[in-house]
Amino acid sequence: MSQYATLALEPQGRVLVVRLNRPEVLNALNTQMGRDLYDLWTRLTAEPGDTRCVILTGAGERAFCAGADLKERDGMLQAQWQVQHELFERGFMALMELPLPVIAAVNGHAYGGGLEFALACDFIYAARTARMALSEVKLGIMPGGGGTQNLPRAVGERRAKELILTGKAFTPEEGAQWGLVNRVCEPGALLSEALETARAIAENAPLAVRQIKKSVHYGLQTDLLTGYRFEIEAYNRLVDTDDRREGIRAFNEKRKPDFKGR
């Protein structure tokens, strides 16, 4: 796996921990981080290797990601801004399309694009001390990393409108009540709890995990019966696999299955 200027990669067996690594600026998203993330998600899509689950978190204790680097953006011409944002757009889409499950471990504040990173992941664990907001409206812009789409899908239209239109910050406990945050953790236990869940996912049949993620994600974009047809197509792709045969065999032999991803 390549080395990146703005990311720290920490392989943990079949789990890859990815840290946004600009703690001196609260892990703010700059152009280089946009390039690094897009490259990473693209590489993991094409050649995941032994990686079966990803955890996305931030370096340091203060922030997961403070959003876009506004110092870098200060004085940007419109054309420069749009070129940069197109890069960010490709990165967000690559993350949302990544076949591997991604857990956001929100270790600190997640504002603007930082919260959009977490929303683009499959689910969120958050440290109790974190604060989150889609605060772009306070800067004269609006979410541009999927926030107006992913937040309503998580918390409902009315709650999302309130949060995005006010730019109001909220706590992980509130996020959990609304269905946005899966688990609220003590700061020192966040990564270990995320790793425990990621390792449980990584032990399961990788082809099945990928098909489940796609079925849930794309099924929700359509009506129930069309979604069910998608599910059956995904299911049928798993029947004639070595992993399916190994799973049944291991169950009958009362042992742990050894899934190979084929």
The phi and psi torsions of 77 (rounded to 5 degrees) equal -75, 160
- Is the domain of 218 the same as that of 137? no
**Does residue 28 form part of some domain?**
yes
**Contact (CB, 8 A) for 40 and 4:** yes
| Residues recognised as catalytic | 116, 136
The phi and psi torsions of 9 (rounded to 5 degrees) equal -105, 130
d(CA 54, CA 121): 10
- Is the domain of 243 the same as that of 118? no
**Does residue 99 form part of some domain?**
yes
Last residue of a domain, one of 163, 186, 202: 202
Whether residue 76 has pLDDT greater than 80: no
pLDDT digits (tens, 9 = 90+) for 144-203: 999 999 999 999 999 999 999 999 999 999 999 999 999 999 999 999 999 999 999 999
pLDDT of residue 103: 98
- Is the domain of 198 the same as that of 219? no
**Does residue 67 form part of some domain?**
yes
| Rg (the chain; Cα; Å) | 19
Per DSSP bridges, beta strands 183-185 and 15-20 are unpaired
pLDDT digits (tens, 9 = 90+) for 31-49: 999 999 999 999 999 999 9
Number of domains the chain contains: 2
Higher per-residue pLDDT: 205 or 72: 205
d(CA 227, CA 234): 11
d(CA 167, CA 142): 10
- Is the domain of 149 the same as that of 234? no
Domain membership of residue 155 as a residue range: 7-202
- Is the domain of 114 the same as that of 16? yes
**Does residue 261 form part of some domain?**
no
- Is the domain of 24 the same as that of 103? yes
- Is the domain of 188 the same as that of 209? no
- Please, what is the Cα angle at 138 between 132 and 140, to 5 degrees? 130
- Is the domain of 26 the same as that of 43? yes
Nearest to 41 by CA among 27, 173, 33: 33
**Does residue 126 form part of some domain?**
yes
C-alpha dihedral over 150, 221, 158, 185, to 10 degrees?
A: -40
Q: What is the CATH number of the domain that holds 26?
A: 3.90.226.10
**Does residue 262 form part of some domain?**
no
- Is the domain of 110 the same as that of 217? no
**Does residue 34 form part of some domain?**
yes
d(CA 226, CA 70): 43
- Is the domain of 168 the same as that of 116? yes
d(CA 35, CA 17): 18
- Is the domain of 133 the same as that of 246? no
